[in-house]
Amino acid sequence: MPFLHRDLAKDVFMEQPLGFIGPLYPTHVYKLDKSLYSLKQSPRAWYTKLSNSLLYLGFVTSKNDSFLFIYHSSYGLLLVLVYVDDIIVIGSHSTQVIRDDNTVNEDSSAGHPNIPLLVYVSREKRPSHPHHFKAGALNTLLRVSGIISNAPHVLVLDCDFFCNDPSSARQAMCFHLDSKISCSLAFVQFPQKFHNFSMNDIYDGRLRSVFEMKCPGMDGHQGPMLSGTCFYIKRAALYGNVGEVKDPLQLKQYFGPSNGLIKSLGQSYPCKVIEDGSFSTRLQQETQFLASCSYEEHTKWGEEIGFLYNSVLEDYFTGFILHCKGWNSIYYSPPRPAFLGTATSNLNDTLVQGRRWYCGLLQVTFSRFCPPIYGLLRMSFLESMCYAHLALNPFSSFCLWCLATIPQLCLLNGIPIYPKASDSWFVIFSFVFFSSLLKHLKDVHSTGGSVQTWWNEERIWMMKSITSHFYGSLDGILKSVGMGEASFTPTNKAIQDDQVKLYQMGIFDFRTSTVLLAPLVTLVIFNMISLVGGVGRVMVAGCCDKLLGQIFLSFFIVAVNYPVIEGMILRRDKGRIPPSVALLSLALSMLFLISGSMVLMS
């Protein structure tokens, strides 16, 4: 909280960070316009504003501790202890905090913002009960908020995002309250923007192709997919066709046995949260019941109600089903980013994230909700093709594995698989290859990117395809046939200074697991061997016309993945490729070369 405070009492200047040093003015400094993180002036300004607000609302400062604020009311005593970015609130009764928060809201005079009712929910988890990862947590919040505020619209925001523009709610409501589209509008999706990405974004942390190409394109049909964060969604869309069900017993079969939640279904915002002390006690007991691990048993939560559980990629699956039910969505990208988050700034987080996404996509593909089949009958053709493209994209990793191994293996054994360079068919093969690269370059340029951005995206796409996407696809296939269990590995939210420094300098940090790193290094080494062997064969045998296509393909893969070669041979920092991984990959390359050659020669 304090580190996001924007009002600073004094001017703050900072040196130019690595990767952002202006070539014409290398000695200049930046004047801070808005504080984000780790600035001494920001907590001071935030504390001053907070303390003034507490004193205005009737709190008094303790004589023994200037950071302790005391509030006396008819209900008892309320203590607020503030230390840097930590706030401890203590009441004389278990419901004191809720009571006094409500009292302060009602007593606040016009012109001063009310203190919002903040409820922290920690749901119950037990090994014997599936908790369904993020989707289960969202459904718990949906139930608890239903008996507290019952707001008709819900903002979903990941823990590594913050609100950059408070007017985002009003912007979203311009769509949700529009009488022409409101009845069919499920959610308003804002793009994911990041405050920490480098201009030399080597990991494609911006997800440019998704939020600057795919989402605007889908917005021309039924709307964009759900992206997991930065969206305002209508509660009624997640509740399904509740208005058609009148029988309370049937409602309990869908929503569970909570009378408070069933009652909230027919209420309009706002609910009366606090009437007297006994109601607050019942409220606390009811919320604990709704957050219990066994509440969803024998209900439709995760199947027809709330965020759906069929995939670890709950956002994609839930958005897909909403569109199949006839709901629409809106993609809105304002000039000022509504939300800012933290982009992945190291290779490990990038690969872990990609593995989970591709596993989730294949879980949907191999279910009865397969987008090319299920979606084609329930939504527009073009919208279903957009979902089908995403759902089937994991299979491209297997194609890339073939492209990075089979031509190279044949090259080492002198077997041409492409037309001769003098053959007219060679022009067609070359056209297909280069047109795909030029199409990608055009897309990057149309969204304000550079040639360097295009090259970085080509590299990280190749890296992710043969590592995390390949493993994610295998996970999805194994889980679909019952040979694996669903897993949800979140990305690391902690930021390490040395990793950030490498990222800002455009240098890869290869500190990740051997399982993820070894396939990448193995293929790069194998293509290096293929390139050297192919060039040597051409120089000796003079068969350049037959093997030119395969030699160029090996050269292209080696050139794109030059940072891997640099990490193996030239670097000595902590982010280099460990020698043990390089040796293991070399052994795997030789094993594949020998076994593959034996198969080709047999």
Q: Note the pLDDT tens digit of each residue in 198-236.
A: 888 899 988 999 999 999 999 989 999 999 899 999 999
pLDDT of residue 255: 92
pLDDT tens per residue, range 306-358: 999 989 999 999 999 999 999 999 999 999 999 999 888 899 999 999 999 99
Residues carrying CATH 3.90.550, the chain: 133-344
**Predicted structure pTM score:** 0.79
pLDDT tens per residue, range 481-516: 877 665 656 666 566 778 888 988 999 999 999 999
The answer on pLDDT for 273 being more than 90 is no
Which of residues 115 and 586 earns the better pLDDT score?
586
pLDDT of residue 83: 66
pLDDT of residue 217: 93
Token output for 103: 């009292």
Whether residue 270 is preceded by a cis peptide bond, meaning omega within 30 degrees of 0, is yes
Beta partners for residue 153, in sequence order: 234
Mean pLDDT, the chain, integer: 84
Which of residues 467 and 79 earns the better pLDDT score?
467
**How many C-alpha atoms does 389 have within 13 Å on its Cβ side?**
12
Q: What is the mean pLDDT of residues 471-489?
A: 79
The answer on pLDDT for 5 being more than 70 is no
Q: Which range among 171-185, 272-286, 375-389, 403-417 shows the weakest confidence by mean pLDDT? A: 272-286
Q: What is the mean pLDDT of residues 510-531?
A: 95
pLDDT of residue 243: 61
Q: What is the mean pLDDT of residues 180-188?
A: 95
Beta partners for residue 15, in sequence order: 29
- Please give the Cα distance from 509 to 373 (Å, whole number): 41
Q: Which range among 41-50, 332-341, 389-398, 580-589 shows the weakest confidence by mean pLDDT? A: 41-50
Which of residues 378 and 91 earns the better pLDDT score?
378
Q: Using an 8 Å Cβ cutoff, are 320 and 369 in contact?
A: yes
For domain 133-344, is the CATH number 1.10.3470?
A: no
- Please give the Cα distance from 452 to 292 (Å, whole number): 50
Token output for 364: 């949907």
Q: Which range among 56-60, 82-86, 195-199, 558-562 shows the weakest confidence by mean pLDDT? A: 82-86
pLDDT of residue 107: 45
Task: Specify the residue for token string 């913050």.
Answer: 162
pLDDT of residue 514: 94
Q: Using an 8 Å Cβ cutoff, are 378 and 324 in contact?
A: yes
Annotated binding-site residues for Mn(2+) read 134, 158
The answer on pLDDT for 103 being more than 60 is no
Give the whole-number percent of the chain exceeding pLDDT 70.
82
Q: What is the mean pLDDT of residues 294-310?
A: 92
In b/e form, how buried is each residue of 509-520, taking b as 16+ CB within 10 angstroms?
bbbbeeebbbbb
pLDDT of residue 541: 82
- Please give the Cα distance from 197 to 163 (Å, whole number): 17
Q: Which range among 39-48, 129-138, 477-486, 525-534 shows the weakest confidence by mean pLDDT? A: 39-48
pLDDT of residue 113: 45
Q: What are phi and psi of 328, to 5 degrees?
A: -115, 170
Residues, the chain, total? 602
Q: Are strands 339-341 and 161-163 parallel, antiparallel or unpaired?
A: antiparallel
- Please give the Cα distance from 159 to 223 (Å, whole number): 25
pLDDT of residue 221: 92
Q: pLDDT confidence of 279, banded at 50, 70, 90?
A: very low
pLDDT of residue 251: 87
415 sits in the region (left: phi over 0; alpha: psi -120 to 50; else beta) called beta
Which of residues 26 and 181 earns the better pLDDT score?
181
* Alpha carbon 68 to chain centroid, angstroms: 38
- Please give the Cα distance from 148 to 423 (Å, whole number): 73
Token output for 328: 């629409």
Q: HEC states along 466-519?
A: HCHHHHHHHHHHHHHCCCCCCCCCCCCCCCCHHHHHHHHCCCCCCCCCHHHHHH
pLDDT of residue 100: 46
Token output for 401: 């594995």
Annotated binding-site residues read 134, 158
pLDDT of residue 91: 65
pLDDT of residue 74: 66
Q: pLDDT confidence of 542, banded at 50, 70, 90?
A: confident
Which of residues 167 and 283 earns the better pLDDT score?
167
Angle 218-396-374 (CA atoms, 0-180°, nearest 5)? Answer: 50
pLDDT tens per residue, range 349-405: 999 999 999 999 999 999 999 999 999 989 999 999 999 999 999 999 999 999 999
Q: pLDDT confidence of 272, banded at 50, 70, 90?
A: low
